[in-house]
């Protein structure tokens, strides 16, 4: 199971929310199913609530086991059943309250370790049932004490009957129970009247975001949320654009996993986003990296702030502090920071200081054939360099192959067929009409993609029964239909537990100029697929289209009848011939 977002978010929990309320709200905002929090805060309390999203839920203990800091207000002379001001009053002290010196001495006496009795209104379980469930039913049950540690207390203000103090304590400490215990020691009783959590481990209140702020970031795209995610487990890191996740990137990921396994680290890929069209959408790039076995993928927008950040700051503030890096893996030309100062020499020089290892590998070289040709967007043959063998595999090489419609080269570089994915949407219905009898499945192509030349292709399509089951769609939308009438066949399979139908067919990538009037008609770029074989209703299903061979460029025909003739007399036979040559009749 892959997740759109994976990591920790430093949430500012507001008063009136339970910790689970926060998680439920974030599930809706982020569109994820797996969320947890590190350390419960009572509804009346505010402050830092670390929330683990997606795969980070397995690392919650790396956050929750650390010290926490609180700013608390204690009300002397009042005791309640919940041990805070929200509960039912059990008693009010009628005598004279202790003096300030006595109060200060009592508060400070709790610095150190002691056994604290768990409050009845708490989530700890007794006999498989939460204590607050007993309390709400009016039942008192025997509770055990828990050994806790109060690292420090700083008394900020004493204005009797209220006392304000800051406390640094261990996991499992109840501040309202601390107030109760102080009140008992003073003989007047006490309850907690306000609480602000200011720190949980490395999560500080100054960096915590309210739900409304997180919602706004989510609306700005994947990179918005990634900008606030952190990782708390020690990681092995690699950095790059990873456009296409080609075979060179895949070799790097294998080395990253090898290093992480040896050192018992999580794997993290940091994707630098430059805002330019890529081979994959953001979602597809992450999905492919997760399929390669990466634990975490984080996108960093290449903003002016990041561009001007020194190599030292990038290393310390991002790689070490935010992502807990203990190993870095990359190519020998690795670089980051202002002026690309974060190079191999820099990394080796700082390894002992920050406690990480460095593993730099050679780039993978292509083993392609020589003298091959590819198709340009105009349909003419264009020579590939006489001998590609020995060249470093790069994203530039991959983009060039795709731009030229060289699907064979693109597939070699990707290690699999080049594809575009998306949810099938409604077309104009012309192709499936009685006039054409050529039903198609339509997917909108994301603006962020580098795409092959507009034209007709022989394709293979995977259609997933569950919408979004692969998690890598290039577009969202309504439905579409495909009920192919040409020769060929379909095969059923499964992927990720979902039923998958695989079918060969013919596709047009472009703007449909015969229908819309011109190649530059300003319409949304679409991929239309006609399946060879009856596949039924595909509205709303995710489809992954693999480009097998370029047939011809897109052009405007003088009439629909001329287009129909081209499709049935030339294009479909050309696709049939391709599949026949490759043993896929």
Known catalytic residues are 42
The DSSP symbol for 96 reads P
| Residue at token pair 């006490």 | 190
Rounded to 5°, the CA angle 314-318-322 comes to 165
Sequence-distant contacts of 12-15: CB under 8 A, at least 24 apart: 12/46, 12/47, 12/48, 12/49, 12/205, 12/208, 12/209, 12/210, 13/41, 13/45, 13/46, 13/47, 13/48, 13/49, 13/197, 14/46, 14/210, 14/211, 15/43, 15/44, 15/45, 15/46
- Per-residue H/E/C for 8-39: EEEEEECCCCCHHHHHHHHHHHHCCCCEEECC
Q: What are phi and psi of 563, to 5 degrees?
A: -65, -45
In angstroms, rounded to a whole number, what is the distance separating the alpha carbons of residues 10 and 556?
A: 54
- What the block records as the tokens of 380 is 């003419």
* Furthest-apart CA atoms within the chain: distance in Å: 102
Cβ neighbors of 373 (< 8 A, separation 6 or more) are 381, 382, 383, 384
- DSSP-assigned beta bridge partners for residue 194: 73
Locate all alpha helices (DSSP H) within 297-343, ordered by sequence: 304-307, 311-313
DSSP symbols for 64-84: HTS-EEEEEEEEETEEESSSB
> With the C-alpha atoms ordered 161, 166, 169, 174, is the resulting torsion angle positive or negative?
positive
As given in the structure block, the two tokens for residue 455 are 């034209």
Neighbours of 142 (CB within 10 A): 5
Taking a C-beta distance cutoff of 8 angstroms, is the pair 429, 483 a contact?
no
End-to-end alpha carbon distance in the chain: 34
What does the block give as tokens for 232? 């708390």
């Amino acid at each position: 199971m892959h997740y759109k977002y994976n990591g920790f978010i430093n949430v500012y929990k507001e008063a009136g929310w339970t910790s689970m309320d926060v998680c439920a709200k974030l599930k809706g905002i982020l569109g994820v199913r797996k969320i947890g929090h590190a350390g419960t805060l009572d509804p009346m309390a505010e402050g830092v609530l670390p929330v683990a999203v997606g795969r980070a839920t397995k690392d919650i203990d790396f956050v929750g086991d650390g010290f926490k800091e609180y700013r608390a207000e204690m009300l002397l002379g009042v005791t309640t059943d919940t041990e805070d001001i929200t509960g039912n009053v059990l008693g009010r002290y009628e005598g004279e309250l202790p003096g300030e010196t006595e109060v200060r001495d009592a508060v400070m006496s709790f610095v150190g370790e002691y056994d604290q009795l768990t409050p009845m209104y708490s989530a700890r379980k007794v006999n498989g049932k939460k204590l607050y469930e007993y309390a709400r039913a009016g039942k008192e049950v025997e509770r055990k004490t828990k050994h806790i540690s109060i690292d420090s207390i700083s008394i900020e203000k004493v204005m009797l009957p209220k006392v304000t103090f800051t406390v640094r304590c261990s996991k499992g400490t109840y501040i309202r129970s601390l107030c109760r215990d102080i009140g008992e020691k003073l003989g007047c009783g006490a309850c907690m009247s306000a609480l602000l959590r200011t720190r949980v481990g490395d999560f500080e209140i100054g960096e915590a975001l309210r739900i409304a702020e997180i919602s706004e970031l989510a609306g700005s795209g994947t990179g918005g949320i990634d900008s606030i995610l952190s990782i708390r487990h020690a990681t092995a890191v690699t950095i790059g654009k990873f456009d296409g996740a080609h075979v060179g990137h895949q070799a790097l990921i294998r080395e990253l996993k090898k290093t992480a396994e040896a050192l018992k680290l999580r794997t993290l890929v940091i994707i630098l986003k430059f805002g330019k069209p890529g081979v994959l959408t953001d979602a597809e790039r992450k999905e492919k990296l997760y399929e390669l076995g990466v634990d975490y993928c984080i996108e960093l927008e290449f903003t002016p702030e990041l561009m001007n950040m020194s190599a030292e700051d990038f290393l310390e503030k991002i790689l070490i502090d935010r992502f807990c890096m203990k190993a870095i893996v990359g190519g020998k030309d690795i670089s980051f920071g202002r002026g690309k100062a974060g190079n191999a020499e820099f990394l080796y020089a700082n390894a002992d200081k920050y406690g990480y290892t460095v593993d730099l590998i050679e780039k993978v070289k292509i083993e392609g054939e020589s003298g091959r040709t590819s198709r340009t967007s105009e349909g003419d043959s264009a020579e590939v360099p006489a001998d590609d063998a020995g060249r470093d595999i790069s994203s530039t090489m991959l983009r060039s192959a795709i731009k030229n419609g060289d699907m064979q080269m693109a597939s070699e570089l990707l290690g699999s067929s080049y594809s575009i994915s998306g949810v099938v949407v409604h077309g104009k219905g012309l192709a499936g009409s009685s006039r054409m009898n050529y039903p198609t499945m339509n997917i909108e192509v994301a603006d962020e993609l580098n795409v092959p030349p507009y034209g007709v292709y022989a394709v293979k399509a995977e259609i997933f029964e569950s919408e979004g089951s692969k998690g890598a769609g290039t577009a969202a939308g309504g439905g579409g239909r495909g009920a192919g009438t040409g020769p060929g066949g379909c095969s059923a399979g499964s992927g990720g537990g979902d039923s998958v139908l695989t079918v060969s067919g013919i596709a047009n990538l472009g703007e449909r100029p015969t229908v819309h009037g011109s190649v530059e008609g300003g319409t949304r770029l679409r991929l239309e697929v006609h399946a060879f074989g009856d596949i039924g209703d595909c509205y709303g299903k995710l489809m992954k289209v693999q480009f097998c061979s370029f047939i011809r460029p897109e052009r405007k025909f003088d009439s629909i009848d001329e287009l129909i003739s081209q499709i049935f007399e030339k294009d479909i036979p050309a696709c049939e011939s391709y599949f026949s040559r490759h043993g896929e009749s």
